[in-house]
Amino acid sequence: MQLAITVLGEDRSDLIVEITRAIKDCKCTILESRMTELGNEFAGHLLVEGNWNHIVRLESAFENLANRFAMKINTLRGREPEDREDNTLPYAIDIFATDQINSIHELSVFLSTRNIKILDLSTSRYPAPFSGTPLFLAHMVVKIPTGMRIVSLRDEFLDFCDQQNLDAILEPVKR
């Protein structure tokens, strides 16, 4: 059985230790996780696996942890994965731009209208060296349907990026 977990709270140096201890003590395994500092706050997303009674125990442990550290912790029991063939190719997209508020939305629309699923998205802003101009950085992992012509998609993507004034790279995920 799988459990998806989101954690939000004040950033503390021992928070990851407390979260992973609860998972270990309940005899569960972390399948995937992303934990980071966001400003002065902490945010984490985890996918954990264990048998049903260990998952129930972990849900209870996280309720106690949320109360103890004044955090918000939400859990969602995962559905059983469907046995179906995955006819997609993983590709990475990296975007570099001046700080533009609509960049991610417009890119999401571009991908969605082509039936390309976004698996992972991370973004950040930072000041440019010397000028201090806000710069925007995004990294995505997407699933492109195998029947799609990559050369045509890449041309459309680069045209889209030119129109949006984005520097971008679309390339296969290297494993």
**83 occurs within a structural domain:** no
What is the per-residue pLDDT for 50?
A: 94
Q: What is the pLDDT of residue 82?
A: 66
Residue pair 50/30 in contact by the 8 Å Cβ criterion: no
Do 59 and 96 fall into the same domain? no
Question: What is the residue range of 116's domain?
Answer: 88-172
Q: Which residue has the higher pLDDT, 28 or 134?
A: 28
- Provide the number of structural domains found in the chain: 2
- Which amino acid is residue 46, in one-letter code? L
CATH code of residue 167: 3.30.70.260
- Residue 175: per-residue pLDDT: 65
Specify the pLDDT at position 33. Answer: 92
Burial of 36: CB neighbours in 10 Å, binned 0-12, 13-18, 19+: exposed
pLDDT at 87 (0 to 100): 86
pLDDT tier, 83 (very low <50, low <70, confident <90, very high otherwise): low
Q: What is the model's pTM?
A: 0.73
pLDDT class of 127 with cuts at 50, 70, 90 = confident
Are residues 116 and 53 part of one domain?
A: no
Does position 102 have pLDDT exceeding 80, yes or no? no
In a domain, 53, yes or no: yes
Domain edge (last residue) among 58, 77, 96: 77
Q: What percent of the chain has pLDDT over 90?
A: 68
Q: State percent of the chain over pLDDT 70.
A: 95
Count of Cβ atoms closer than 10 Å to residue 30 Cβ:
14
Helices (H), the chain: 15-25, 52-69, 103-112, 150-164
Q: Is residue 82 part of a domain?
A: no
Average pLDDT, rounded, for the chain = 90
Which tens digit of pLDDT belongs to each residue from 35-79?
998 888 999 999 999 999 999 999 999 999 999 999 999 999 987
pLDDT digits (tens, 9 = 90+) for 103-116: 888 899 999 999 99
Instruction: Show Cβ contacts of residue 127 under 8 Å, excluding neighbours closer than 6 positions.
Output: 133, 134, 135
